[in-house]
Amino acid sequence: MDNNIAERLNSAYRQIAEIKQKNQAVRVDAQLIAVSKTKPVPLIKEVYLAGQRLFGENYVQELVEKSAELANLVDLEWHFIGPIQSNKTRDIARIAAVVHSVDRLKIAERLSAQRPVDLPSLKILIQVNISHEASKAGVLPEDVPALAAQIAVLPNLQLAGLMAIPAPAVDQDNSQAFAQMQSLSMKLQQQFPQATALSMGMSDDWQQALTFGATMIRLGTAIFGARDTQPHE
Ligand SMILES: *Cc1c(COP(=O)(O)O)cnc(C)c1O
């Protein structure tokens, strides 16, 4: 048992509440996604028992195995946050409630076609390459409106918002990227009022992300501790 896990989780929720209190821009509906990639099922169970319900995974194989082992925890919600290969969409469509990492129409079309019709619409976030990094996942900011319009008309999906992983800033300051995402998100909502989600902020920068209107922060290390094993795919 790792008693620190519940401690770290509670501390993160306390800090979120404090930041909310101090800062008008922080959205009252800000959610914490516990990123459990490479972490074993017993640890995930511990975090669940400490009250956490939203979990993020990067690798389809881990998502499939862990969701099967934890199937009895019916209110546990899986968020898929990793790169998506088109031959892996079926499992994501079956298991996830939210997909944070959609950056092309073909993936969205497959998720739409493969989403079981007895499940609620799969929530889709468009991943934005906000730092214009070569060979990084995500669409460029200027391409968001076109992809959003294409996704919005697909059945079994709900266009829910945007996600970004800013390039590591030399001075640990991601405020520029976060501000750009906040403005992109507001523009998107003019066209699609229901697309309010803004997924940004990880263990090193989540406090700052919240002050720029993040509605979902994705915390791995800050909750589970350092990752020592290599993920498998
Ligand atoms: C691994 C990962 C995280 C969590 O990273 P930490 O720095 O450990 O909090 C969040 N988002 C994505 C997309 C990731 O791949």
Q: Which of 123-127, 155-159, 164-168 has the lowest mean pLDDT?
A: 164-168
Superfamily grouping for domain 3-224: Alanine racemase (3.20.20.10)
Of the pLDDT bands very low, low, confident and very high (cuts 50, 70, 90), residue 129 is: very high
Q: Which atom of ligand 1 is nearest to the CA of 35?
A: 4
Q: Which atom of ligand 1 is nearest to the CA of 33?
A: 10
Query: Mean per-residue pLDDT for 81-107?
Result: 98
* SS3 (DSSP) at 104: coil
Between the CA of 58 and the centroid of ligand 1 the distance, in Å, is 9
pTM of the model: 0.95
CA 196, CA 173: separation in Å to the nearest integer? 24
Q: Which atom of ligand 1 is nearest to the CA of 222?
A: 9
How would you class 15 by CB atoms within 10 Å of its CB: exposed for 0-12, middle for 13-18, buried for 19 or more?
A: middle
Query: What is the residue extent of each domain of the chain?
Result: 3-224
Of the pLDDT bands very low, low, confident and very high (cuts 50, 70, 90), residue 169 is: confident
Instruction: Round the average pLDDT of the chain to a whole number and report it.
Output: 94
pLDDT at 103: 97
Q: Where do we find the tokens 């881990």? A: 62
How would you class 220 by CB atoms within 10 Å of its CB: exposed for 0-12, middle for 13-18, buried for 19 or more?
A: buried
Q: Pocket around ligand 1: residues whose beta carbon is below 6 Å from it? A: 35, 37, 58, 81, 165, 202-204, 218-222
Question: Per residue in 198-214, pLDDT tens?
Answer: 999 999 999 999 999 99
Beta partners for residue 78, in sequence order? 55
Q: For ligand 1, pick from 38, 58, 199 the residue to mutate: most ligand atoms within 8 Å of CB.
A: 58
Q: Which of 2-6, 166-170, 229-233 has the lowest mean pLDDT?
A: 229-233
Backbone angles phi, psi at 103, to 5 degrees: -135, 10
Between the CA of 37 and the centroid of ligand 1 the distance, in Å, is 8
User: Which of 200, 194, 195 lies closest to 213, judged by CA?
Assistant: 200
pLDDT at 218: 98
